[in-house]
Structure 1
Amino acid sequence: MPEGDTVYAAASRLRAVLEGRRLVSSQFRIPSLATADLSGRDVVAVRSRGKHLLIDVDESTPGAGDAVSVHSHLKMEGVWHVHPIGRRWRRPAYRARVVLRTETHEAVGFDLGILELLADPDAALAYLGPDLLADDFDRDEAIRRLAADPDQPVGAALLDQRLMAGVGNVFRSEICYLRKVLPTRPVGEVDLGPMVDLSRRLLWANRLRSARTTTGNTSPNGRMWVYGRQGQLCRRCATLIKRGELVSTGGERSIYWCPRCQT
């Protein structure tokens, strides 16, 4: 499931082949951008903001138009693939939403949940809370935002990207477990500093991994403490892991917890 670490890794792959290079062609395969053309323009930066990915394109050719950013959000199924030109795509062509080509490589965005061109991406994403994977992550601001609604369940607060950007459904279950906190516990009863610190450590540790893990074990059945393990034994106390639904931004989302380890 794409979360802040997944988007950070995608930005790193894209940066390696796009940043500082000129686009020889672009194809936007959605109706709203069908006539957009970024060919002949330079990619000046590739960056992630929480779960959002931005490819900043300059006005490198006179008359080509103002600088813009290709903004994408992976949602549940999206992915960016990068490879040398001529290599066979790993997903069917009909699922491609955008193709950006340089002289040597192409970046293909498949099944993107959001794809748009933004003239001022920083303003458009100003609502986001501090980015957990940013070099200048503002810990105090993240704590302040999380603490603003002390009655909100902490499991819901962790998913609210307006408070702190990057945590998704997988990490919020794991963070609550590792802090021994029930996801339904009100924010006002939680020690937020260590929870924010743990969130940053987990995302940072996984930002470039091919297999996400919160246990330190990268084997397929050993990567998670509780997420996706409903009915299996807790790795600490052997109690059966439970699964439920918790209302968060965007609706009800699955949550996993150990009824003995978490209080």
Structure 2
Amino acid sequence: MPEGDTIYALARRLHEVLADATLTHTDFRVPRWALTDLSGGRVTAVRSVGKHLFMDVERDDGSAVSIHSHLKMEGAWDVHRLGTRWRRPGHSARVVLRAGDTEAVGFNLGVLEVVTDPAAAVAHLGPDLLGDDWDPDLAVTNLAADPDTLVGAALLDQRLLAGVGNVFRSEICFLQRVSPYTRTGDVDLPAVVQTARRLLWDNRVRSVRCTTGVLIRGKELWVYGRDRKPCRRCGEAIVRSDLDGRVVYMCPRCQAGAAAGG
């Protein structure tokens, strides 16, 4: 599942080609929205909120709506010149948007809806790590609300803070030298939140996600995807395990302490 930095970069790319453009054709290929026609509407912005994507559209009657999508595990948006052969199967297209000679197609979207109140669609989310209104104090408060929650689980709970996914979860815990199985009550949460913000912010416009500061292929990440490979810090074998049904990676030596920095 894409993480907050990926969706931020996607929104930026879509905004560059669609902002201020007038939609000349819309085709929603999901039953609930099949009769929706936004042609003639002007795209005012494309933006991300956590892992959610919004295309804001001002209709020709002056009303405003947003096309809200979430990629989930398999979704994708492709943008190309009109008439270009699609790179993905046509049956997986959920929405087709055209503006002049540009075509944007959403494939296998986990969520697709047209909403009049986009804020309500993401009202359940915690502070957006890449949002203009990022609130680190609220994020810390949310994470601290249940001190018995494992920090590895809390970081993936979008209701607490929005944007962290499986890759960043493992990397944040490693950089803080804390096991993902540690209770949030035993963790330096302000430091965890600060690290989460820095990692997502630094990666929001990169073509390759990197947490080590080394952009050479194969050296970009500290622990994620490195099962049984030597820790870049201490040489101990990285361990892969399961937490709440999702894979997590850690160094059993560097992350042996309960508290951050332990």
Normalising by the smaller structure, the TM-score range is: over 0.9
Partner of 1:260: 253
Counterpart amino acid of 1:49?
V
Asked whether the 8 Å contact 2:15–2:45 carries over to 1, the reply is yes
Q: How does 1:1-263 map to 2 (within 5 A)?
A: 1-61=1-61, 66-247=63-244, 252-262=245-255, 263=257
CA–CA distance in structure 2, aligned partners of residues 201 and 83 of structure 1: 32
- Segments of 5+ residues of structure 1 without an aligned counterpart are none
Counterpart amino acid of 1:33?
W
CA shift at 1:61, angstroms? 3.7
Q: SS of the residue aligned with 2:7?
A: helix
CA shift at 1:109, angstroms? 1.0
CA–CA distance in structure 1, aligned partners of residues 236 and 61 of structure 2: 63
Asked whether the 8 Å contact 1:237–1:261 carries over to 2, the reply is yes
CA–CA distance in structure 2, aligned partners of residues 45 and 76 of structure 1: 24
Asked whether the 8 Å contact 1:40–1:61 carries over to 2, the reply is no
What are the superposed Cα offsets for residues 69-88 of structure 1, whole Å, 9 maximum, x if unpaired? 11100111211112222223
What are the superposed Cα offsets for residues 75-124 of structure 1, whole Å, 9 maximum, x if unpaired? 11211112222223222222221111101311111121111111211012
CA–CA distance in structure 1, aligned partners of residues 243 and 162 of structure 2: 19
CA–CA distance in structure 2, aligned partners of residues 57 and 173 of structure 1: 37
Asked whether the 8 Å contact 1:145–1:163 carries over to 2, the reply is yes
Q: SS of the residue aligned with 1:76?
A: coil
Q: SS of the residue aligned with 1:170?
A: helix
CA–CA distance in structure 2, aligned partners of residues 180 and 23 of structure 1: 49
- Segments of 5+ residues of structure 2 without an aligned counterpart are 258-262
Asked whether the 8 Å contact 1:26–1:38 carries over to 2, the reply is yes
CA RMSD of aligned residues (A): 1.3
Q: Which moved more, 1:236-245 or 1:172-181?
A: 236-245
Asked whether the 8 Å contact 1:143–1:193 carries over to 2, the reply is yes
CA–CA distance in structure 2, aligned partners of residues 220 and 33 of structure 1: 42
TM-score by length of 2: 0.94
TM-score by length of 1: 0.94
Q: Which moved more, 1:223-232 or 1:176-185?
A: 223-232
CA shift at 1:218, angstroms? 2.5
Q: SS of the residue aligned with 2:114?
A: strand
Counterpart amino acid of 1:259?
P
CA separation of 1:184 and 1:79: change in aligned 2, threshold 3 A: same
What are the superposed Cα offsets for residues 35-89 of structure 1, whole Å, 9 maximum, x if unpaired? 1111111112211000000011112247xxx421111001112111122222232
Q: SS of the residue aligned with 1:158?
A: helix
Asked whether the 8 Å contact 1:231–1:240 carries over to 2, the reply is yes
Counterpart amino acid of 2:10?
A
CA shift at 1:145, angstroms? 0.6
Counterpart amino acid of 2:45?
A
CA–CA distance in structure 2, aligned partners of residues 222 and 110 of structure 1: 31
